[in-house]
Amino acid sequence: MKYSLSLSVVPLLLSVASAAVAGRPKPEFKSYDGYKVFRVPVGSDASKVSGIVNKLGLTTWKGAPRAGAFADIVVPPTELAAFSKEIAGMDAVTMHDDLGASIAEESTFQTYAAGAVNSTWFNSYHAYADHLQFLRDLQAQYPTQSEIVTSGKSLNGNPITGIRIWGTGKGKPAVVFHGTVHAREWVSTMTVEYMAYNLLTNYASSSEIKGFVDKYDFYVFPVVNPDGFLYTQTNDRMWRKNRQSTSGSTCIGHDINRNWPYQWSVSGGASTNPCAQDFKGLAQGDAPETAALAAWLKTTKANQGIKLFIDYHSYSQLFMTPYGYSCTAVATKNTEFQALAKGAVAAIKAVYGTTYDYGPICTTIYKATGSSVDYVNDVIGADYTFTAELRDTGNYGFVLPANQILPTATESFAGVRYLLLNMK
């Protein structure tokens, strides 16, 4: 859709989202009625678009505008007229004509009846309590092959809940999937849950999946940022960070994927401003979620080894490798990483034709310090580490329609399948 300044607003009908009752976020939910999201080509000089963003006090969805890329910019109704003048002639594209209406449609949760574990789960997004119930119900259907696990607690005391899956016995090398590191990336939650669902429900009928589960212990954590995820459902759909306060600031939240205790102090890959979306924290590992996850990974590595770690995010359709902290440092197994990433994106594309790019984080998307993938690769010493940015590339961004959940998850599993078949 080409750039438009129409101010039509679709009212949001917000109601309580709870387990077993369909609904939308609570009434105090931050309204994005009339907000628009635009994709603006940055060109060779990022300063012009950055200047517009700063001048009008706007927010962006993919970090600061970068030369040669697109900036996805959220514009409130009060700034639409000024924004239209600033970007005249820049060939902007509308991603969301009314972000509030898009959120309302996305957040119409499907009713989930406890115990009803089937593929219809992936037809809509869900309330956090339902996610927990889904995992419990999935485990209850396969009690001799799975167990509910936690990798610590969040700042607010919410367990970081996952499911462990095994075949012929426990204690094999671990495959670990993380979802919802950044709270607003809802499709990552569903995609990671699909991994668990597919492995368990097809174990008895697929010799290939049986082979995977008999070879590895799978640890699937759909929501590693539970406080932030809850906040996206009760207060602000666009929330990214955890819910941690910072001394001397009224701004809330640390970016738990800029807080890992490795290459944290390197400049240029995270913000030192507590109000920024990518605030790195006051000290490495000072986010309770990061500290808990790091400790769990260390213990798991010592007890059984970690074969594969994938951190799932959205959006941009990327399948990336270490490193994020540097655009010149090269991972020891970089040649093998790139070959596997190339194969994974080819496998993803073979399902529905969805195109992913691949390569090291820093050169593929942007510099990111204190990231999980760099930490798990160099400190934990997992055999293979990747991070994925799921659908899409900019039509919808973070507010991806529910009808894309299952296709996203299905093609993502195809990428994982390639890795499991080809890792050494």
Nearest to 187, CA basis, from 329, 42, 398: 398
The pair of structure tokens assigned to 216 is: 């590895």
How distant, in Å, are the alpha carbons of 36, 40, 86, 97, 295 from that of 3? 10, 9, 13, 9, 47
By the 10 Å C-beta count (0-12 exposed, 13-18 middle, 19+ buried), 157 is classed as exposed
Per the annotation, the verdict on 389 as an active-site residue is yes
Tokens of 349: 């594309």
Element (H, E) at 71: strand 70-75
Tell me whether strands 217-221 and 174-178 are parallel, antiparallel or unpaired.
parallel
Provide the β-strand partners of residue 357. Answer: 318
**254: its two tokens:** 């640390």
* Catalytic annotation, pick one of 79, 106, 185, 389: 389
Kindly state the tokens that stand for 302: 């010592």
Task: State the DSSP code for 273.
Answer: -
Residues 6+ apart with CB under 8 A from 233: 17, 25, 107, 127, 128
Count Cα atoms within 13 angstroms, Cβ side, for 355: 3
For residue 315, give the amino acid letter. Y
Residues whose CB falls within 8 Å of the CB of residue 386, separated by 6 or more in sequence, listed in order: 308, 309, 310, 311, 319, 320, 321, 337, 340, 341, 344, 373, 419
Q: Which amino acids are annotated catalytic?
A: 389
